[in-house]
Structure formats: C-alpha cells, structure tokens
Amino acid sequence: MTPDAELVALLLRRELQLMDPVFRRDRSAVASLLAEGFREFGASGRVWNRETILELMATEPEFDPPAVEEFAVQMIATDVALATYRAVRPHGTSLRSSLWIQERGAWKMIFHQGTRVS
C-alpha cells in the first residue's frame, strides 16, 4: 500500500502544525489532532500521555521548531499511517516517528517517538 500524495501532504501539514509555537498553545486545536489514547516517548526518555502533552504544549514558555527533513509516510493499514522524518536543530538531530489513525474520517496521531542521533 502506497500513500497518496494528498495524505502525505496532510500528515506533513499536521506534523508542522504540532511544531508551530502559536498552534501548540491552542489546547483545543492540538487536542483535535491527538487521538484519545495518545502516547509519546520523547527523545529525552520521558513518556507523555494525551493530557500531559496538552498541558505541556499549552504552557511551555517557548518552543524552537526544528527543520523537518526526509519526511516519509508508509501505510500500515487502510486507516493507519506511519510518518517518519528527521528533526534538525542547531543543538542536535532526532529521528521522529508518528503513528496516525483515521477516526470517523479524521486523521489523528495516536503515538509519537523521538530518538536522538549521536
């Protein structure tokens, strides 16, 4: 199964929205993109659930978005997509992966992981 260009563009837009400092502070906007069972394994080793990540994003004092490189989407099932990319910042790079599921016609992130690159 190969994702269509429309889905790849949509998921890239959503990933970028979640990195946008203004968007991140809008709790309801972020909540609309996260599935109820959302979990994140951060590059720091910390684990977040939906509620803790919503709180973090809404209250963080500042966020410096990374550059996104090598963005790709792989279909796992007709309603499950895996997005992978490199997040590049001046102080380091991490490999990122997000699992997106389609719920009632809307794509929502159910899982996200960041892994630092040495």
Query: What is the mean pLDDT of the segment spanning 91-116?
Result: 96
How many domains in the chain? 1
40, 53 contact by CB (below 8 A): yes
| pLDDT tens column, 49-97 | 999 999 999 999 888 899 999 999 999 999 999 999 999 999 899 999 9
| pLDDT tens column, 28-37 | 999 999 999 9
- In terms of residue numbers, what domain contains 18? 5-117
- Note the pLDDT of residue 34: 98
Extract the tokens encoding 52: 């803790």
Question: d(Cα 98, Cα 111) in Å, to the nearest integer?
Answer: 6
Residue 27 binned pLDDT confidence (cut-offs 50, 70, 90): very high
Q: CATH code at 36?
A: 3.10.450.50
